[in-house]
């Protein structure tokens, strides 16, 4: 193994064999070491949440990862390569430049019996962000999300001053022994945690750095096609185990959390809150 060991010769066979062996050792050790180093660096740079979302996103079924431009019919099939962060997506930028978002086709805020006011932007994890007159953004859960979860058993809100990042966890809702993490629709710093009780939002967030960038959020004209698909997905998640009745007269039940067995409801939470 080493030149000073008994029986070692500087023969071609020995050099080739041990050379290959040491190369393998070095490559494997370097791979593991660099993974550890990168991991340490990522943890130090507080990228854990971003990585968790990337990892979650990777684990989502392909049909949950479709590009938003499939919802609007611009693509037949397309999987999002950016983990739902359209701010860095060239295709999105190009498509938006090609067809600038139209005004909302209807000003009505009722969609499928749910209230979806169009004064705000929606995130695909069923949160919304609304820019206030003071420059701060209010973040809340949309009605579909509220109906899936029902009345929370407990809510874990971030302390004021917490930095939020797009697609990072904004807050946690506990319900039926389950911890649902709600994805943040926007970057910013938490100013106030209102908790959704009494008010309509959960958090108030002030911008950090260059201000808010809502390109990752659904434009008002996208809300309807998106929502139709979401209801379809929800139905898929719930009907898998043979409880086909989702809605009462075509309207979503006000509280799904009590209406379905745990497993079905879990699947519905996974599907709606993009949890793998």
Partner 1 sequence: MDRQLIARGVRRCSTPQFLLWILPWAALFAFGLYCAGLCLVKGLNQTNMDNRFAFGLWIFVDLTIIALGAGAFFTGFLLYILKLKDLDAVINSAVVIGFVCYSGAVAALLVDVGQPLRAWFTFWYPNVHSMLTEVTFCITCYLAVLLIEYLPIVLRNRKLREVPGFLVFEFELHKLIYVLAGVGTFLSFFHQGSLGGLFGVLRGHPFAFREGLAVWPSTFFLFILSAAAVGPSFILFTTWLISKLSGKRLVRPQVLQLLGRISGLLLGVYVLAKTVDTLIWINRTSPGAGFPAQEYFAWQPFGTWILFAEIVVFGLAPALILLTPRLRLRTNWLVSAAVLACLGVALNRFVMTLQTLALPTLSFDRYLSYWPSWQETGTFLAVVAFGVLVYSFSFRYLLLFPQEREFRQEPAAQVSETAVMDPVGRS
Q: Note the residues at the interface with partner 1 (CB under 8 A).
A: 1, 5-7, 11, 13-14, 16-18, 21, 24-25, 27-28, 31-32, 34-36, 38-39, 42-43, 47-48, 51-52, 54-55, 59, 61-63, 75-79, 81, 90-91, 94-95, 233, 236-237, 239-240, 263, 266-267, 270-271, 275-276
State the greatest distance between any 2 C-alpha atoms of the chain, in Å, as a whole number. Answer: 87
Helix, strand or coil, per DSSP, at residue 58: helix
CB closer to partner 1 out of 53 and 212: 53
DSSP code of residue 62:
G
Residue 254: CB minimum distance to partner 1, A: 23
CB closer to partner 1 out of 79 and 106: 79
Query: What phi, psi does 206 have (nearest 5°)?
Result: -105, 150
DSSP string over 194-246: -TTSSSS-SEEEE--TT----TTSBPHHHHHHHHHHHHHHHHHHHHTTT----
Residue 61: CB minimum distance to partner 1, A: 4
Residue 134: CB minimum distance to partner 1, A: 34
CB closer to partner 1 out of 52 and 130: 52
Residue 66: CB minimum distance to partner 1, A: 10
CB closer to partner 1 out of 19 and 211: 19
Measured distance CA(205)–CA(202) in Å, rounded: 10
Tokens of 252: 């979503």
CB 187 within 8 A of CB 165: yes
CB closer to partner 1 out of 247 and 276: 276
CB closer to partner 1 out of 62 and 198: 62
Q: How much of the chain is helix, strand and coil, in % rounded to 5?
A: 40, 20, 45
Residue 216: CB minimum distance to partner 1, A: 16
Residue 96: CB minimum distance to partner 1, A: 11
Give the alpha-carbon dihedral of 35, 36, 40, 43, to 10 degrees.
60
């Amino acid at each position: 193994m080493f030149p000073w060991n008994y029986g070692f010769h500087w023969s071609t066979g020995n050099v080739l064999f041990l050379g290959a062996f040491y190369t393998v050792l070095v490559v494997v050790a370097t791979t593991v070491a660099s993974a550890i180093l990168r991991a340490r660096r990522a943890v130090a740079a507080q990228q854990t949440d971003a990585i968790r979302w990337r990892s979650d996103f990777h684990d989502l079924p392909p049909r949950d990862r479709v590009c938003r431009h499939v919802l609007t019919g611009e693509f037949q099939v397309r999987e999002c390569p950016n983990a739902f962060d359209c701010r860095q997506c060239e295709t999105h930028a190009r498509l938006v430049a090609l067809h600038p978002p139209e005004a909302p086709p209807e000003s009505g805020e009722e969609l499928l019996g749910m209230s979806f006011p169009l004064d705000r932007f929606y995130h695909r994890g069923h949160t919304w962000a609304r820019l206030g007159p003071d420059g701060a953004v209010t973040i809340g859960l949309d009605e579909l999300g509220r109906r899936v979860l029902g009345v929370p058993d407990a809510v874990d809100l971030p302390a004021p001053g917490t930095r939020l990042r797009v697609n990072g966890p904004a807050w946690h809702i506990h319900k039926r022994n389950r911890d649902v993490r709600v994805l943040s629709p926007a970057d910013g710093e938490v100013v106030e945690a209102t908790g959704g009780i009494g008010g309509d939002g959960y958090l108030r967030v002030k911008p950090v750095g260059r201000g808010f960038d809502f390109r990752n959020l659904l434009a008002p004209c996208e809300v309807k096609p998106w929502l139709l698909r979401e209801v379809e997905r929800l139905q898929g998640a719930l009907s898998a185990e043979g409880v086909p009745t989702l809605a009462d007269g075509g309207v979503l039940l006000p509280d799904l959390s009590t209406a379905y067995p745990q497993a079905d409801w879990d699947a519905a939470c996974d599907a709606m809150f993009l949890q793998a």
